[in-house]
Amino acid sequence: MSLKKSQLDGYRSKLQEELAKIQRKGRLEVERFADVSDTAVQNHGLAIEASEERLSRDKEEAIRAAIHRIDDGEYGICQECSEPIAKKRLTAQPEATFCTSCQEGQEKEASWEPRFQDAQAW
């Protein structure tokens, strides 16, 4: 599967829109906390905010990497098996780096690892 220039441009546009949303949300969060004077309210939400911020940074990084892959001509190729990533998957998650099969393998491996490490502790 080779993506056409128009398809790549569409994915790039979608990625850039998502990146802009993340950046706007980050600016709004800074403004919101600048207006709040109650320290207790601020402290209560810090853990949640930190988690959301980390997820936003991770998403922003993934989007920038996907745009870079478009620029390098490597977009839509699974980084694990080098097979094409299905267009349906790219449409749903344009920053995807793995085909569905390899993503499932990554998730199984990630879910198995902690249990295996816990078993070694015995």
The CATH number given to whatever domain includes residue 36 is: 1.20.120.910
Q: Can you give the C-alpha Rg of the chain in angstroms?
A: 19
Residue 3: the pLDDT is: 86
Percentages of the chain per state (helix, strand, coil), in multiples of 5: 75, 0, 20
When divided into structural domains, the chain yields a total of 1
Say whether pTM exceeds 0.85.
no
The span from the CA of 78 to the CA of 71, in Å, is 16
The span from the CA of 91 to the CA of 21, in Å, is 18
What is the band of 75 on the pLDDT scale with cuts at 50, 70, 90?
Answer: very high
Q: Which domain holds residue 39?
A: 5-121
3-class DSSP state of 117: helix
Tens-place pLDDT, residues 100-110: 999 999 998 88
